[in-house]
Amino acid sequence: MASIGEAHGFFTRISARHMALFVDEGDTLVLSFDRADRTWHQGDSGLPLGFDCLRALEYSLLSILSVGRTWFRDAFVEEMLQNLAQEGFFSSYKEVLILASGPDCGHAAARAARFVPGAKVLLSRPAAAISARHAPFETRFTADRRTDPDTPLPLGPEALRHAASTMILFDPIHTLEAAQAALFTAPNTTRIALPHSGAALDRTFTKGEVIVPLSRHLQSGTLTPQKAREILRPSLRRDPGYLARLSTNAAYSARAATVARNSRP
C-alpha cells in the first residue's frame, strides 16, 4: 500500500493505530473505512475495501484503516477528515461514495458523512451506536464503551441526514443487528434485509465481484433492494457459514412443521 500511495497519491500513518491510503484516479471518490488486519490476513494480495472499484471503475480511493477494532475513535482521524472537508478535497469530486463493512467500520463511516454532504452511502452491518445511553440493548461491545466511541456527536444516523442516499445491509434474524439497523432513520435511508447472512455478509461485501457492481449502481442511483440482493446472493450461496445457517433454519422449520402436523386433533 505504501508503494501504491507513493506512486499514485499518498499513504500515511495518521496515528499509532490508524493509516490512510489515497489513490487519485477518477472524478468519483470512494471513501472507505476498513480494518488493516482484514487486508493483512490476505497476504500480499490484501488491499482495502474499495480498491477493486479503482481498478474496475477508475474511481479514486481514500481508505481509512484501523489496526484492530478501534471504532476509529481518534482525534487525528477526525482532524484529517475535517481538514480535507475544509480544504475542499471532497467537494472537488463529482461524486463521493462512502463504503464500510462491519459494526465498527460502519459506525465510523456513518459519522464521517457529516464531512461529505451529498455523499452516497452503502454500509454492511453497521452499528449506529454502542453506548448504554444510545444503544442500551447492545451487549456485544460493552468493553468498548470505555473509549466512548459515540462522542463527539453527531451519531451516524444524525450525520447521515447530510447524505444524498444511504443503504444499510443487515441480517434481520440477528436481533442486535436488526436493532442497530432500525436506528438508521435519516431521510433517504433504505434498509435491505438479508436473512441468515450474518458475518458472511461482510465477507461477501468486500469481494470485487460484489463491491464493484454494488458501487456502480450506488453511484448511478440504480441500487434498489432487489438489485442488491441479486448481486449479493450468488456470492452468499458460496459461503459455508451462510449455507450452514440456511441448513439449520431449514431443519428447524421442518421439525416445527412436523410437530404442527402431529399436534392437530
pLDDT tens digits for range 222-255:
999 999 999 999 999 988 878 877 777 655 454 4
* CA–CA dist 48, 84 (Å, integer): 20
Residue 210 to residues 113, 115, 204, 205, 248, Cα–Cα distance (Å): 23, 27, 7, 6, 25
Domain ranges of the chain: 2-262
Asked if CATH classification 3.90.1200 holds for the domain at 2-262, the reply, yes or no, is no
Share of the chain above pLDDT 70, in %: 90
Peptide bond into 149 cis (omega under 30): no
> What pLDDT does residue 261 have?
45
Highest mean pLDDT among 217-221, 245-249, 255-259: 217-221
pLDDT tens for each residue of 35-84: 998 877 665 557 899 999 999 999 999 999 999 999 999 999 999 999 99
Calculate the dihedral angle through the C-alpha atoms of 196, 202, 204, 206, rounding to the nearest 10 degrees: 170
**What is the average pLDDT across 212-216?**
97
d(CA 21, CA 5): 6
Task: Render 72-94 in DSSP notation, one character per residue.
Answer: T--HHHHHHHHHHHHTTTGGGSS
Residue 127 near residue 138, CB atoms below 8 Å: yes
Q: Give the three cell numbers for residue 119.
A: 455523499
pLDDT confidence band for 263 (50 / 70 / 90): very low
| CA-based nearest residue to 13, from 72, 62, 77, 69 | 77
> What is the structure's pLDDT at 241?
77
**Residues in Cβ contact with 198 at an 8 Å cutoff, skipping those fewer than 6 apart:** 171, 173, 174, 241, 242, 245
Model pLDDT, residue 260: 39
Question: Per-residue pLDDT tens for 166-187?
Answer: 999 999 999 999 999 999 999 9
The 10 Å CB-count burial string (b at 16+, else e) for 72-94 is bbbeebbebbeebbeeebbeebe
Stretch 190-216: mean pLDDT: 94
pLDDT score recorded for residue 258:
44
> Which pTM was predicted?
0.89
> Per residue in 84-99, pLDDT tens?
999 999 999 999 999 9
How high is the pLDDT of residue 185? 94
Length of the chain: 265
pLDDT of residue 259: 36
CA dihedral 231, 233, 235, 239 (to 10 degrees): 160
Q: With cut-offs at 50, 70 and 90, classify the pLDDT of residue 215.
A: very high
